[in-house]
Amino acid sequence: MHFKDTDWQRAADFHGHICVGLTIGYRVAKIALAALQEKRAADEEIIAVVENDACGIDAIMVLTGCTPGKGNLIFRDTGKNVYTFGSRNSQKAIRISVNGDILQSSPEMRALQRKVIARRATAAERAEFGRHRDRQMDEIINLPEEKFAVITEVDFAVPGKARLFSSVKCSSCGEYAMEPRTRNQNGAVVCLDCFEDYSRTIKV
């Protein structure tokens, strides 16, 4: 069972609970590491572009070593279960598009999930939902790769490594901000929170 896998346990501990979303990220990360013939990145050897901010991202961070802090996890918000991984070592990259059909539940199960989340479910209903969740997770782990996702090798312009920038004091609030994230306003440097955007564009 995948629940006894050390990597799975590390991901679950980091995330705080087990769920279908975490399992997706775990499977995606395993596929990516195998396809790129990589191990967990100590620095920025692997780059991940993730297109959602759901539970699975935690598993991807734990298994691949791609994190926002290191600058090798890039968030591109399309709301899709799509993930692109590139290797600086091999200059190879793959795109993993998870099969959305396998994630769909019946209307009844979606209604039950809403009750569980709202804490209105009975003990029996919570147990039923737990069994359904476990079946989904087992399916995600055990599906052949070609049924789990569309996996394609892609051209990937590896971004430059993360850079360090000086911090600049905002003339309005007094807080320091990274220089590229500041703006000039009325002849003074301000942070994005204090910047008053000026735009005259309209939608027609």
Residue range(s) in the chain whose domain bears CATH number 3.30.1330.130: 2-153
Residue range(s) in the chain whose domain bears CATH number 3.30.60: 164-204
pLDDT tens-digit series, residues 123-165:
999 999 889 989 999 999 999 999 999 999 999 887 777 788 8
Q: Are 153 and 91 in contact (CB under 8 A)?
A: no
Q: How confident is the model at residue 202 (pLDDT cuts 50, 70, 90)?
A: low
Q: Environment class of residue 116 by beta-carbon count within 10 Å: exposed (0-12), middle (13-18) or buried (19+)? A: middle
> Helices marked H in 37-118 — which ranges?
56-64, 107-117
pLDDT tens-digit series, residues 28-43:
999 999 999 999 999 9
Q: Environment class of residue 175 by beta-carbon count within 10 Å: exposed (0-12), middle (13-18) or buried (19+)? A: exposed
Q: Is 2's pLDDT higher than 60?
A: no
Q: Domain 2-153 class?
A: alpha beta
DSSP 88: T
Q: Are 60 and 36 in contact (CB under 8 A)?
A: no
What kind of fold does domain 164-204 have according to CATH? Wheat Germ Agglutinin (Isolectin 2); domain 1 (3.30.60)
pTM tops 0.85, yes or no: no
